[in-house]
Amino acid sequence: MPNGDTVVFFLRIGAMYERKSGWSLPQLTISAPPDRPIGYGAFGVVWSVTDPRDGKRVALKKMPNVFQNLVSCKRVFRELKMLCFFKHDNVLSALDILQPPHIDYFEEIYVVTELMQSDLHKIIVSPQPLSSDHVKVFLYQILRGLKYLHSAGILHRDIKPGNLLVNSNCVLKICDFGLARVEELDESRHMTQEVVTQYYRAPEILMGSRHYSNAIDIWSVGCIFAELLGRRILFQAQNPHNLCRTMPLRPVKPKAFTISSLLGGTPKACTGWHNLCWAEPLRPAKTAIHRHA
C-alpha cells in the first residue's frame, strides 16, 4: 500500500479537512462524522469520533477563531507545541492535527488526542464513592505528570479538576496547555497574573506577584487533594481578596483529626494535604512531594 493517502473527516459543523498521512492506508476516502460532544470550554469543544484509519475511538478538539487576536494565537500555539512535544503516561499528547485543504479555510484547528472517558471534576461531583486508594492513585498520577512538566521547565498554570482527564482504568492525564509557559528564572521579568482558575490560585498570585515559580502548580494540587477528600471546593469566595483571607499563609499545625473531620479523609492524608497548602517558600518542592506520594 502506498504512503500519503488522503484521509478526510466530514464534520457536522460543515468544514472538510484533509491530511496527507505518513502512515500506510488503503486508497480510499472515508467520512467520519463526530459521534457526540464530550466537553466544552472557553477555547473549544471536544468530540468523540471514530478514526476511519483504524476504527479506534479518539477525541477531536476544535479550536475556533485561532487568529482572532494575538492572545488567541499565542494560546493555541503553546497548546499545540506542548501537545506534540510531550510524551508521558500522565500528560495528554496529540495523535494527529488535521490541516485545512487551503489557507483560505484556516480559521480553526482540529487536534486528535486519546479518548478519555471523564475528568476529575465530573468524578468529584458524581455520587460515585471514592476510596482512599482512589485518592492515592489520582494524586500520585497528578504529581507524576507535574514532575515531568516541571523537569522540562514548564509551568502549567491552570491545574484544576476539569483539566485532569481520567479514563475507565483510572489512568489520569494532565491536559489544556493554553496557559502553560516556560518558567522565568529572571525575577525582573514580569509574568501574567490572570492565570489559574480562581479557586486553585496560590496566595502569591492572588496578592499580585508578578513573578512566581512552579510552586503555584503545587498549591493547586493541594486544593485538589482536599477536594478529593471532602468532595467540595476547599477555598471559595466571591473575589480574590476574600479568597486570600481564607488561606493558611503560615505553617500552623492543627490536630490531624480536626482536619479529618472537615475534609472527610484519614488523619494521615489530611496532614499531607496541609503540607501542600503552606505559603511559598514553605511549600514543599515537587520532588519531595513525589517521593512521599
Class of the CATH-defined domain 118-292: mainly alpha
Catalytic residue among 158, 176, 186, 217: 158
- Helix or strand (DSSP H, E) at 110: strand 109-114
Give me the mean pLDDT over the 275-288 stretch.
53
Looking at per-residue confidence, does 241 or 181 come out higher? 181
Distances (CA, A) of 173 to 161, 166, 197, 209: 11, 6, 18, 29
Mean pLDDT of the chain: 74
Looking at per-residue confidence, does 103 or 257 come out higher? 103
Task: Give the residue among 173, 178, 119 at the shortest CA–CA distance from 148.
Answer: 173
CATH homologous superfamily of 6-114: Phosphorylase Kinase; domain 1 (3.30.200.20)
Task: Give the residue among 292, 149, 127, 270 at the shortest CA–CA distance from 216.
Answer: 149
**255 annotated among ligand-binding-site residues:** no
End-to-end CA distance of the chain: 48
Active site residue 158: yes
What pTM, to 2 d.p., does this model score? Answer: 0.74
Q: What are the sequence ranges of the domains in the chain?
A: 6-114, 118-292
157-211 tens-digit pLDDT: 899 999 999 999 999 999 988 888 887 654 545 455 455 678 888 877 777 677 7
All cell numbers assigned to 275? 503540607
